[in-house]
Amino acid sequence: MAATTERALVRHLARAISPETEIEICSGQQAIDRDDALIEKVAAFPPGASCIRIWENHNCLVTTRRIARRAAFAEAVAASAQSGWPVYVRSSGGSTVIHRPGILNISLAKAAGADIVQPETSYDDLLLMLRDGLQKLGIEPSIGAIKGAYCDGKYNLCLNGRKIAGTASRIVRRKQQTVYLCHASIAVYGSPMRDISLISAFEQNMGLDHIYAPSSHTTLIELAGF
Amino acid sequence: MTDILVPHGQWEADQDAALATWLYGDGETVQEGVTVAEIMVEKTSFEIPAPASGTLSIAVEEDAIVAPGQVLGSIR
């Protein structure tokens, strides 16, 4: 059970990012699929329109379609589910990540009209929103890759050289316009070491031998001194 | 026969793009417009739609690096 301070920080961060957006508490594949529904919803909007979703998931691993096509996927999913961590599949990029209470997800979908959207551009609005939100809490994150982090990428949010949020995006064409969704998972509290252990066990069951460093990850509670 | 091509101009020329996954198997029937494959650039995914209805023939394996204009497969 999380401490009152930890839950308060989740709510405080969500409000700092988007004061008018309630946190959705979700579970199952449905929680992941709502991001796809968000893209389809925004596709019907005029260029420039956007929708944000702030959500927190029950315990699960979330992986990509590419990994879901591996030969040993079904066995690895069964083993993870047996340990209390079901596995769901998302349509954005990256690799396997963890969702649980204490990891706050933010999804931002935007309609871009007839413009071509480059991968970098798909991250801009959400990263700006997250940086602004964190700055309101007195936190000044940097953006960049972190060696040894799981689901690493050049648009991680980092504190003191450790990853606190991973990001991924998806760019599609719908109804004559480009629509994109950028998603971030911010580690507010919890144990990165346990997260890595769960992800590593799942990946090893599929024959993947990625090595992750617990020291590459942190949480807001751990590093920002709340 | 209609080729399935890697689109031009969707990402910078110096960025690596990989054929992340085929969502249908070789020889499967697909309908025009459905997403048959995904390309990954950094951690951004792009959908590749079927340019026609018919039988999918795969020419590029998953995880291969691909370039704009390259033929990924075809619809027969």
In this complex, the residue of A116, A154, A170 whose CB is nearest that of residue B45 is A170
- Phi and psi, residue A84, nearest 5°: 95, 10
What is the domain range of residue A118? Answer: 4-224
Residue with tokens 């690096």: B65
Q: Please report residues of B whose CB lies closer than 8 A to that of A167.
A: 43
- Give me the number of domains chain A comprises: 1
Residue from A32, A215, A216, A52 nearest A126 by CA:
A52
Q: For chain A, how far is it from start to end, CA to CA, in angstroms?
A: 18
CB atoms within 10 A of CB A152: 19
- Give me the number of domains chain B comprises: 1
Rounded distance, CA A149 to CA A159, Å? Answer: 13
**Neighbouring-strand partners of residue A170:** A181, B45
Rounded distance, CA B14 to CA A119, Å? Answer: 12
What is residue B24's DSSP assignment?
S
SS3 A204: helix
**Residue A176: its pLDDT value, please?**
86
CB contact under 8 A, A153 and B42: yes
CB contact under 8 A, A168 and B23: no
CB contact under 8 A, A119 and B42: yes
Q: In chain A, what percentage of residues exceed pLDDT 70?
A: 98
Geometric angle at alpha carbon A161, from A163 and A127, rounded to 5° = 50
Q: Which residues contact A15 (CB under 8 A, 6 or more apart)?
A: none
One DSSP character per residue, A156-190 reads -EEETTEEEEEEEEEEEEETTEEEEEEEEEEE-SS
Q: Please report residues of B whose CB lies closer than 8 A to that of A171.
A: 10, 44-46
CATH code, domain with A131: 3.30.930.10
**What is the predicted ipTM?**
0.91
Q: Please report residues of A whose CB lies closer than 8 A to that of B43.
A: 92-94, 151, 153, 155, 167-169
Quick one: pLDDT band at residue B14, thresholds 50, 70, 90?
Answer: confident
Quick one: pLDDT band at residue A115, thresholds 50, 70, 90?
Answer: confident
SS3 A153: coil
Mean residue pLDDT of chain A comes to: 94
Quick one: pLDDT band at residue A226, thresholds 50, 70, 90?
Answer: low
What is chain A's Cα-based Rg?
17
CB atoms within 10 A of CB B3: 15
Q: Mutate which of A171, A176, A180 to test chain B, going by most B C-beta atoms within 10 A?
A: A171
Rounded distance, CA B51 to CA B34, Å? Answer: 9
In this complex, the residue of B11, B20, B40 whose CB is nearest that of residue A118 is B11
Quick one: pLDDT band at residue A91, thresholds 50, 70, 90?
Answer: confident
CB contact under 8 A, B43 and A170: no
The answer to whether residue B26 neighbours chain A at the CB level (below 8 Å) is: no
CB contact under 8 A, A66 and B62: yes
Q: Mutate which of A118, A124, A167 to test chain B, going by most B C-beta atoms within 10 A?
A: A118
CB contact under 8 A, A119 and B38: no
The answer to whether residue A118 neighbours chain B at the CB level (below 8 Å) is: yes
Query: Looking at the predicted structure, is the pLDDT value of residue A1 above 80?
Result: no
The answer to whether residue B42 neighbours chain A at the CB level (below 8 Å) is: yes
The answer to whether residue A66 neighbours chain B at the CB level (below 8 Å) is: yes
Rounded distance, CA A139 to CA A187, Å? Answer: 14
What is the domain range of residue B31? Answer: 2-75
pLDDT tens figures, A26-81? 998 999 999 999 999 999 999 999 999 999 999 999 999 889 988 899 999 999 99
Compute the 3-state secondary structure of chain A and give helix, strand, coil in percent, each to the nearest 5.
Answer: 35, 30, 35
SS3 A121: helix
CATH code, domain with B38: 2.40.50.100
Calculate the alpha carbon distances from A198 to A1, A83, A86, A93, A101 in Å: 19, 9, 11, 20, 15
Average pLDDT of span A112-132: 95
**Structural element, H or E, at residue A94:** none
Question: Residue A12 is which amino acid?
Answer: H
Q: Please report residues of B whose CB lies closer than 8 A to that of A36.
A: none
Question: Residue A157 is which amino acid?
Answer: L
SS3 B44: strand
